[in-house]
């Protein structure tokens, strides 16, 4: 069953009155449990497509359905609430709150959801065990390496038990060892918990692990391959 469906999705930017098709008539479906990479050259529309799927941007035309909900029809308040309860995000720049501890950064989403303190504590401990950072719970981001910060960002994305995770160039700032560790964690979560991951990336290390590769050029899907 498809958990995400895009229908004739377009995003057009006017650059000094010249229209640029960042996403050009993209129709795709994603199933639960996918580990998929959206790839292509810089400027091909990868991040824009991910932002449209995640409701962080609005299409010029077309529709995005998540578990049957047409998110392009939601107003600004509704889309914020929908993202909070259905979608996890991992960004290239980590986006952790510097004044909060690693534990507090992960808890924050659950606080917004109104989850009880007891359940938050239990979920945080479970997640930090999965990402291998139980000894870093009380460290602030500035006391963590880049790889550790990105693992905390993954835990934060998973905290609310979202339907899927959108990861925008999550390994771009990481060295080879940190990238390998992060991808191992993501793959384990995918295989053990059936967590769906959709990446935008040009990193060959991510591409080698993906089981589906969607190639964009000039905002269009030019290939959609299942990797065996």
pLDDT for 95-127, tens place per residue?
A: 899 999 999 999 998 998 899 999 999 999 999
The confidence band for 53, taking pLDDT boundaries of 50, 70 and 90, is: very high
Alpha-carbon radius of gyration of the chain = 17
Between the alpha carbon of residue 44 and those of residues 88, 206, 207, 210, the distances in Å are 23, 18, 16, 19
* pLDDT beyond 80 at 1: no
* pLDDT beyond 90 at 71: yes
DSSP 144: S
pLDDT of residue 93: 86
Do 220 and 185 form a contact (C-beta atoms < 8 A)? no
Percent of the chain predicted with pLDDT > 90: 82
Q: Give me the chain's average pLDDT, please.
A: 93
**Mean pLDDT to the nearest integer, 200-214:** 95
CA distance 167 to 154: 9
pLDDT of residue 75: 96
Which tops the pLDDT comparison, 54 or 92?
A: 54
pLDDT of residue 228: 75
* pLDDT beyond 90 at 204: yes
What pTM was computed for the model? 0.92
Q: What is the pLDDT of residues 210-224, one digit of tens each?
A: 999 999 999 999 999
**Mean pLDDT to the nearest integer, 43-56:** 95
* pLDDT beyond 80 at 194: yes
Q: What is the pLDDT of residues 129-142, one digit of tens each?
A: 999 999 999 999 99
pLDDT of residue 74: 97
Do 20 and 39 form a contact (C-beta atoms < 8 A)? no
Q: What is the sign of the dihedral through the CA atoms of 19, 70, 216 and 189?
A: positive
pLDDT of residue 15: 65
Q: Which fold has domain 2-226?
A: Rossmann fold (3.40.50)
Which phi and psi angles does 101 have, rounded to 5°?
A: -70, 170
Question: Which residues pair with residue 66 across a beta bridge?
Answer: 4, 69
**Mean pLDDT to the nearest integer, 58-71:** 96
Residue 150, SS3? helix
The confidence band for 52, taking pLDDT boundaries of 50, 70 and 90, is: very high
Report domain extents, the chain.
2-226
């Amino acid at each position: 069953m498809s958990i995400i469906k895009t229908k004739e999705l377009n995003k057009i930017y006017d650059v000094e009155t010249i229209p640029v098709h960042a996403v050009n008539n993209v129709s795709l479906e994603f199933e639960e449990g996918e580990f998929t990479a959206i790839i292509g050259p810089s400027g091909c529309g990868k991040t824009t497509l991910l932002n449209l799927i995640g409701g962080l941007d609005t299409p010029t035309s077309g529709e995005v359905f998540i578990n049957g909900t047409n998110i392009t029809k939601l107003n600004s308040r509704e889309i914020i609430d929908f993202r909070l309860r259905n979608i996890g995000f991992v960004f290239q720049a980590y986006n952790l709150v510097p004044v909060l501890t690693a534990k507090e950064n992960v808890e924050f989403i659950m606080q917004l959801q109104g989850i009880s303190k007891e359940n938050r504590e239990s979920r945080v401990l479970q997640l930090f065990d999965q990402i291998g950072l139980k000894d870093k719970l009380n460290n602030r981001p500035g006391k963590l390496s880049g790889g550790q910060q990105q693992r905390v960002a993954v835990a934060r994305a998973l905290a609310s038990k979202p339907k899927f995770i959108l990861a925008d160039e999550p390994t771009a700032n990481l060295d080879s060892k940190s990238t390998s560790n992060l991808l191992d964690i993501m793959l384990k979560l995918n295989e053990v918990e059936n967590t769906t991951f959709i990446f935008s990336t040009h990193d060959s290390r991510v591409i080698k692990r993906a089981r589906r590769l969607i190639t964009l050029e000039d905002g269009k899907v030019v290939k959609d391959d299942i990797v065996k």
